[in-house]
Structure 1
Amino acid sequence: MQLVQMNDQEFARFLDRGIKDFALDKVEAGTWAEEEAEQLSRESYRRFLPEGLQTKGAYIYNLMHEVDGNVGYIWFNVTEHLRGKEAFLLDIVVEEEHRGKGYGKEAMAALEQAAAGLGVNCIGLHVFGHNVRASELYRKMGYAITDMTMYKELGR
C-alpha cells in the first residue's frame, strides 16, 4: 500500500464526502442533531484543515494498491503533545468494493511507516462505537483504548 498525496480535485471530493460522512456518524452516535450536523461538521473540518491541503501538519493521501489502484484515502495530522510528536488519525476509508481484502490493515501499516518517517512517537485515533469493524482492526493492529464513553438508552 502506498500513500499518494491528493491533488486539488481529489481533495475537493474528499472534503465533500468527509463532511457528509462525519455528520452522519455524529448523528448515528447521538452526538449531534440531524438538522445541525452538516454545519457542525463543516466547522470541524475548517478547524482542522484551515488551509486545505496546505494546512501545516495535515497529511491527506490516496490509498494506492498495486493491484486495485486507488482503494480509498487516509488523513492524519501531526502535532506536538506531552508525549512528543503525535499523529492523530482523523479519517480513513477503504471503499466498499475493496473491503475484506486486508487493505485496511495495509493502510494502517503504511500510516505507521509514514508517521515514523515524520519522527512521530505515537499515533492516536477516535473510533465511533457503532463502527465495530474498525474497532476490531485497530485492536488487531495494537491500538489500546485510552478513554471510553458509554451510553445506554432507557425505554420510553
Structure 2
Amino acid sequence: MIRFAPMSDEDFAAFLRKSIPEYAYDQTRAGNWTAHEAMAKARTEFQQMLPNGPQTPNQHLRIMLDDKDRKIGMVWYFVDKRGERPKAFLIDFFFFSEDRHKGYEKEAFQILEAELREQGVRRIELQVFSHKFDEVNLYQNNGFTQTSIFFAKDL
C-alpha cells in the first residue's frame, strides 16, 4: 500500500535536481531547445511555474511513500478550476529507478484520481515527449487515451 504526502523543502530540492536536467534533456532531444540553452531555459520555466516552491498556489507536489514510509516517487500536477469542467494537468509523475516496475503504478493512479475527485476535478491531461516510450505505455495502461499528436520538421 502506498500513500501521497506533501513535498517538503528538502524533497523539493531533490525533485528540482532530478527534474530540471531531465526536462532540459527532453526539450533538447525533441528539438525544441539547443543543448547550450536548455538548462537555463528549464530553470527559468520551473521558476515561473513554481515561484513559491511546493507552496505555489494550484500546484500540487507530492511524495509517494510505500508502506514503510520509504520514498518511492514523486507527483506534480496543476489544478485549473476555470470553466464548467475543472481539470488537472499532470506535469510530472515518476518512480525512482529502484522502484519502477514494482506494481505501484496502478495504485498511485487510483490515489491521484481520488485526490483530484475530492478537489472537484473531472479530467486529467498530460503531455509526454514522443521518445519516452515507457511513459506512453504507463499512461495508456492506466486508462489515458491519446487526444492529439504534435509534429515538427527541422528545415
Give the TM-score normalised by structure 1: 0.90
Q: Is the 8 A contact 2:81 2:121 kept in 1?
A: no
Q: State the alpha-carbon separation in 1 of the partners of residues 99 and 93 from structure 2.
A: 13
Q: TM-score, normalised by structure 2?
A: 0.90
2:31 aligns with: 30
Q: Which residue of 1 aligns with 2:123?
A: 122
- How has the CA–CA distance of structure 1 residues 50 and 112 changed in structure 2, closer, same or farther, with 3 Å as cutoff? same
CA distance in 1, matches of 2:79, 2:132: 24
Q: What is the correspondence of 1:69-80 to structure 2 with a 5 Å cutoff?
A: 69-80=70-81
- Structure 1's unaligned 5+ residue stretches are none
Q: Counterpart of 1:13?
A: 14
Q: Distance in 1 between matches of 2:27 and 2:122?
A: 29
The amino acid across from 1:59 in the alignment is H
Q: Once the 2 structures are TM-superposed, how far is the Cα of residue 82 of structure 1 from its aligned partner?
A: 4.1
Q: 1:51-80 CA distances to partner (integer Å, 9 max, x unpaired)?
A: 111111111011111157211111001013
1:54 is matched with which residue? 55
User: For residue 113 of structure 2, what is the aligned residue in structure 1?
Assistant: 112
Please name the residue that 1:150 is paired with.
151
Displacement of 1:84 = 2.1
How many Å separate the matches in 2 of 1:31 and 1:147? 18
- Moved runs in structure 1, 4+ residues, more than 4 A? 151-154
The equivalent residue for 2:88 is 87
> For this pair of structures, how many residues does the alignment match?
154
> What's the CA shift for 1:3?
0.7
Point out where structure 2 has 5 or more consecutive residues left out of the alignment. none
Classify the secondary structure of the residue corresponding to 1:39. Answer: helix
2:60–2:76 CA contact under 8 A, matched in 1: yes
Cα distance in structure 1, aligned partners of 2:154 and 2:96: 31
Aligned partners of 1:4, 1:68: CA distance in 2, in Å? 10
Identity %: 33
How far is the alpha carbon of 1:83 from its aligned partner? 5.1
What root-mean-square deviation, in Å, do the aligned CA atoms of Structure 1 and Structure 2 show? 1.9
